[in-house]
């Protein structure tokens, strides 16, 4: 009779232990699934933020749409230049560095109010200085398109 009770107790403990580990495994799987979904949502959001920014030269202003988008009137532009490199030390203050694409607010030496819309870390880069002391650096993935944008912007802003 004692061995029957021991056998039943052992079987009961086996079932309880199995159920406990099964619940822990289910919770672990749920955490993993939620983690994967969060990673997909975060990277998807960043990817879309970087990809949907568009540059448009309107009749009276330069407009860059998307996250961190801006509008700068041509009359407010003090200088436009084309350079082969970015500033040496860039500090991101509220922006994104996503696989070589830079978007948002940054700081560099002598440029506290700096916004970047950089599609490629390879030049050329269009540097814009406003009369209010703000800086914008942008380029497109294609070097020729960046050059064409620079020429068109320089013409519309009537500055060099």
30, 97: one domain: no
pLDDT above 90 covers a percentage of the chain that reads 43
pLDDT in tens, 28-69: 666 777 777 777 766 666 555 555 678 889 999 999 988 788
86, 139: one domain: yes
Mean pLDDT for the chain?
83
The pLDDT, as a whole number, for residue 121 is: 87
39, 82: one domain: no
CB atoms within 10 A of CB 8: 10
The pLDDT, as a whole number, for residue 45 is: 61
User: Which three-class secondary structure state does DSSP give residue 21?
Assistant: helix
pLDDT in tens, 97-127: 877 788 899 999 989 899 999 999 888 999 9
Structure confidence at residue 7 as a pLDDT band (50, 70, 90): low
67, 93: one domain: yes
Q: Are 92 and 85 in contact (CB under 8 A)?
A: no
Structure confidence at residue 153 as a pLDDT band (50, 70, 90): very high
The closest of 68, 132, 142, 77 to 106, measured between CA atoms, is: 68
65, 46: one domain: no
User: Which three-class secondary structure state does DSSP give residue 18?
Assistant: helix
92, 117: one domain: yes
Domain that holds residue 43: 1-51
36, 77: one domain: no
What's the total number of domains in the chain? 2
The pLDDT, as a whole number, for residue 147 is: 95
Strand partners, 49: none
pLDDT above 70 covers a percentage of the chain that reads 75
Strand partners, 71: 63
The pLDDT, as a whole number, for residue 11 is: 75
For the chain, helix (H) and strand (E) counts, in that order, are: 2, 9
């Amino acid at each position: 009779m004692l061995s029957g009770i021991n056998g039943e107790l052992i079987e009961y403990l086996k079932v309880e232990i199995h159920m406990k580990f099964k619940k822990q495994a289910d919770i672990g799987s749920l955490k993993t699934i939620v983690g994967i979904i969060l990673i997909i949502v975060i990277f998807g959001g960043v990817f879309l933020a970087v990809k949907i920014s568009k540059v448009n030269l309107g009749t009276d202003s330069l407009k860059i749409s998307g996250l961190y988008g801006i509008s700068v009137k041509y009359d407010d532009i003090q200088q436009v230049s084309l350079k082969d490199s970015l500033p040496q030390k860039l500090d991101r203050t509220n922006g994104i560095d996503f696989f070589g694409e830079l978007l948002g607010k940054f700081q560099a030496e002598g440029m506290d109010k700096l916004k970047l819309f950089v599609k490629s870390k390879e030049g050329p880069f269009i540097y814009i200085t406003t009369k209010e002391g703000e800086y914008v650096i942008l380029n497109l993935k294609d070097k020729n398109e960046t050059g064409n944008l620079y020429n068109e912007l320089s013409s519309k802003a009537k500055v060099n």
